[in-house]
Amino acid sequence: MISVKKQIVLDETRNPVAVQISYEDWLVIEEQLRLGDVETEKRDISRLAGSISLSEDPVEFQRRLRSEWS
């Protein structure tokens, strides 16, 4: 985790309305966020296969619910 120097911007009644950081710190944060997106895309979800069991066919469930609307 990086250390970010920040400045809190206050309005006339001294309520915080914004936070300012240096552009260099922003570039580092932006790069870390970009790397996080790539890791999310590559995440293996095969370990979740078969982890739930349904008591009813999903299509039949949807048809039953929709028939209740009319």
- Distance, in Å, from the CA atom of 52 to the CA atom of 8, rounded to the nearest integer, reads 47
Residue ranges of domains in the chain:
1-42
Q: pTM here?
A: 0.44
d(CA 22, CA 44): 36
The token duo for 20 is: 């300012």
15-69 per-position pLDDT tens digit: 999 999 999 999 998 888 887 655 555 677 888 888 888 899 999 999 999 999 8
The candidate with the shortest Cα–Cα distance to 1, out of 22, 24, 28, is: 28
Find all residues with CB under 8 Å of 22, minimum gap 6, and list them. 4, 5
